[in-house]
Structure 1
């Protein structure tokens, strides 16, 4: 297993200092940590919050506190300590037998994993893993027991802008399995680790052949000389919509996909000033059924001429890839989506901005 996630890590010393101070006071180091699976809209509950699990020690008072270094599986908690995130005060969670833990009863197919956030950090992504067929439930949880199940990408905004994730449990898994969810934070070097015990039985049911309804009310939320913000009204589906395909017309008039998102908005960047663009949106469900397309929306970008038509750089602003700003008489273009990253000259050295004029 591997990941290509890359996150800025400006606060490692701050995190270490806070953890050291808490330890000196006799408090669990991650007491300031902030999230667990089992929130509103969730079909499943993480081990530390699951009813019927008996004595689980101090973690019952801090279900949000399973925090450890990010970058799993290359880094993160040691094998045998994945459930506790390597925190000694929460070691009860690392007990592992086939019968130790109460289980969420589920069938194969899509299920909602909802998070409760006590502090919704800016977020890189969530990654979900599941134990492989043939894993030993009577041995401590280790990396080699898991395979990647699904990645939920995010735009580095607060985690609570995407609190519920539809994760598909594979039909070739049955019986007792463990799902490991890794919430990769963007504004610290850490991640949160939750394990969810599941008993997979039955079948996913009859094949899903019903497509979602078409998205409606596609509209522009903001335009600049180089970007168009889009939003639409959510589609409905008998088993749930998992995402939306956003398409833009090419010069030939044919439409091509420019984004696939889980929410009902997106930003299309890197565009040409004073140019008309045409968009349409379709919904997709877990079975891959695609809805009819929305009505086509035509949007014209703002005029641009030199740095005067480009907004001034805001040191605390949120920027999408392709956005342009002016600073010191130079126009910069965002190479990556980011927020509040300092002077553009400083950012350029870190491949977040590039000068374009």
Structure 2
């Protein structure tokens, strides 16, 4: 399958480097709660890289990049053996459990400073596993034995002999598998080791999640979050709707929101906002939201909101406005920030913005988009996380360029997917 860049990303700061592209990867999923080493290092690298590159600041993550490069983080969901066929202990030697192939071997480093997730001993939780490419199969979760030392190589004998959790074909919604599990009664620093063996293929996936157990044998967290506020719908198209709601409160903290329609989970979010996709045109939907905490306690459902999708089916209308600014200029170069707004009534898919880029200017780097220059024109395309612009929504990107004229003249026209845009 073609290499994908990242699932979730944020707008980049000035000076970020070009968005990563190219190559191929076989990649299907990894634990996102509690986060695997590759996932948490990817998120740490994304925060440190300003959105256009991965520059981890966590010392263990930085050491892994120094040893194995950044590609394992771009492919954080691809830690697999294609012909495992259940032979995990036979084909993975001691010390290689967290990174069983050369590509991910840096994530076997024996360090005490890997990113950790705080968990409550003996509590009911919701495991979340990214479904980059869904497959049927069975997940097993093991935990390290008491006295485990994270600064020594992880061996099979360091794991408790039986999995504390096992599930086959868990529910899938919003691009993630999610299921309830009871954490073991542990204390202090441990590793939760996850195995996913596909049932339709010999391929298997592996992840190490560094956790710190609190609570010991104490009383688990049984307090549910408050109910979320009534969802407010916006950006309605023929196939999607954006929902926002007032956040819930919790005695420890809300870890996720689940959006329901027709008794089924149709989206999940870690914030109080989400865009529900995959809807049918000219159809009425009712949505409610439920909050959950890290112990798996779920709130009462929010009041419902009813939305009718448009008849447009997501066909772009071509209505758009562009805001082009240069927050920084210097002798021989400049930084430009561009915001593209969809003022139409339907989503714009796979957007491409084109403007004049005269000779004497040269692109240096770009962020939150892929920008190419040819024949005196620049073309910006959305990347994986901002490829579509919902009705009433906008996307932003930026770039650095050199110039023989200081300052260069601003562009006087832009076209979005072939249609002229207003300039503001």
TM-score, length of structure 2 as denominator length:
0.40
Which TM-score applies when normalising by structure 1?
Answer: 0.46
